[in-house]
Amino acid sequence: MDYKIAICDDEQNQIKYLSGLVKSWAGRCGYTVRIVPFLSAEAFWFQYEEEKDYEILLLDIEMEQMNGIELATKLRADDETIQIIFITGYPDYIAQGYEVAALHYLMKPVCAEKLSEVLNRAVRKLHKKERSILVWCDKDCRRILIHTIVYVEVFSHKVTIYTTDHEYNTKRSITEMEELLGGDFIRCHRSYLAGLKHIARMTKNAVVFEDGRSIPLSRGAYHMANQAFIQYYKEPYIEETGRTDR
């Protein structure tokens, strides 16, 4: 597998050190990596507007002018796929890391073993985001990326798949759709499957998505759905200081 990885830090020696760790990780795993260094957030953003194919970003927080949090906020408004790994000497920005869906928060000096673990997790998430299903819509076979599916509504054997920007109609049972989509979806009602990735919150009788749409949540499914939602976002966020409260 090939990965394009950006390292953004205003210290040249830190970029060199992190590049070495990334190359060692890639060599052990059999990956090919293209590492692109940036000495400022502005430099990265200027290049990103021309080339939006970066998959992993190692991002220092404490930089002059635009800092790492500000860059990550701009980036998330445009790209939800890139895996952001914060690199910093201060544990003061953890809460802001939640807001930009950072994958992890590593303290300087970065440990090679810890960075390898986080890069492995980044790769798994990238692969998960590219999973897709094939469905027949009328006479056409369509490929739908699973990470774009917000929810699925089933009535009899007619299925409507609602993605972030389209609707697709096909014929399947809700059990077939549940097996096809896998564990990142929950059956919140006898007629609905909800994508955990897109859920903003749950009430006692509804699942509310980030774009404002909502679907019914049956009373019998509430406990299971709520636990699945919590577990989905329960990966450890910071380990170096003993915190596991992501």
CB 169 within 8 A of CB 205: no
Which residues does residue 6 pair with via DSSP β-bridges, in sequence order? 36, 57
The predicted structure's pLDDT at residue 187: 93
Query: What mean pLDDT is predicted for residues 157-182?
Result: 90
The predicted structure's pLDDT at residue 239: 35
pLDDT, one tens digit per residue, over 199-211 is 999 999 999 999 9
pLDDT, one tens digit per residue, over 16-49 is 999 999 999 999 999 989 999 999 999 999 999 8
* Residue 133 burial (CB count, 10 A): 17
What is the band of 140 on the pLDDT scale with cuts at 50, 70, 90? confident
Q: For the chain, give the mean pLDDT.
A: 86
Least confident of 17-21, 130-134, 188-192, 239-243: 239-243
- Cis peptide bond N-terminal to 109, omega within 30: yes
Residue 194 has pLDDT above 50, yes or no: yes
Query: What mean pLDDT is predicted for residues 131-158?
Result: 85
pLDDT, one tens digit per residue, over 57-114 is 999 998 888 888 999 999 988 887 899 999 988 777 665 656 677 888 898 899 999 9
Residue 237 has pLDDT above 50, yes or no: no
| CB within 8 Å of 168: residues ≥ 6 apart | 135, 137, 142, 144, 160, 161
